Structure 1
């Protein structure tokens, strides 16, 4: 296996058991909730454990999935929290202005003047859209929306994204405390 073949892409994460026959709830990452089942054998992050999808069906926000050789609730419960990966070379090339999360991790982030803001450590989606989690050289991580307005340029070849942040983006308070209103009496 070459080093290019060894790069893994997170496709889904196994959640709670579903029923008594070995099914689990799976949270997929991607536009098509069933796409993780299209790539054959999935592996755990360490590559030691492999998973083959027997059947999968969308149910609300998860995909109820039956994996081969997982035949009862106890086996299914043991899988809670396992992340499912495929090799990067198994995936199609993304369209223009589309990126796999794994391609963004580790990229440096600069502002419009070229000042270093940090590195992307994760791409999160808490329900309102993709967010880039940025780790600065000092301090706590912060998030920026992964939209064209906030991130107009992504250069995988340079290993860098450019962020356009509003001037008050890092202020603790969006308003000036000297402008607080007081009632006239």
Structure 2
């Protein structure tokens, strides 16, 4: 299952709901057929989708006819089966394809296994589970830090950024 969007707050009293789309063309989220919750048990058909502002859509969901129904969907993530998505172009990939890949340095040092790509608002972050356990490693998911994504080879190459030296307190004058 591939994450395509997330419901937001209800919009009005007739069952419409705000929708954040993660697809390249935001309006195309409605063209992938039924969408599902993460478990795959709940099914959602987007009957109508229209833009609202720069980064948001408003959607009508089949079977949701009032504000209370829309409130029940708030913050729910929407997924589509990988098979319903078009194949990526050359040098493209779905973020879900990174999960489980080996993460290593350019010198071949194993950093761990990719858990996924997270975004907390300031850009994509590659999350890696170290081979010996412990806290996960987080790296900016940029071409400078992750110069190689080799899906067929089952790995990503990570060039960890140099640590920024923390300066001590300024001496008193």
Q: Which runs of 5+ in 1 are unaligned?
A: 1-7, 169-173
1:125-175 Cα shifts (integer Å, max 9, x gaps): 33343221222233322321222211111111222100011342xxxxx22
CA distance in 2, matches of 1:177, 1:131: 25
Aligned residue number for residue 92 of structure 2 = 98
**Counterpart check, 1:131 vs 2:121:** no
What's the counterpart of residue 55 of structure 1?
A: 48
Confirm or deny that 1:153 pairs with 2:148: yes
- Cα distance 1:176–1:72, how it changes in 2: closer, same or farther (>3 A)? closer
Secondary structure class of the residue paired with 2:63: coil
Structure 2 partner of 1:171: none
Matched, 1:27 2:48: no
With over 3 angstroms needed to count, the CA separation of the structure-2 counterparts of 1:83 and 1:176, relative to structure 1, is closer
Return the TM-score normalized by structure 1. 0.82
Alignment of 1:62-141 (within 5 A): 62-137=56-131, 138-141=133-136
Q: What corresponds to 1:143 in structure 2?
A: 138
Structure 2 length-normalised TM: 0.87
Pick from 170, 175, 183 the counterpart of residue 165 of structure 2. Answer: 175
Residue 32 (structure 2) pairs with residue 42 (structure 1): no
Q: Which residue is 2:10 aligned to?
A: 17
Aligned length: 171
**Change over 3 Å in CA distance of 1:19–1:156 after alignment to 2:** same
Residue 177 of structure 1: how far off its partner (Å) = 4.7
Q: Gaps spanning 5+ residues in structure 2: where?
A: none
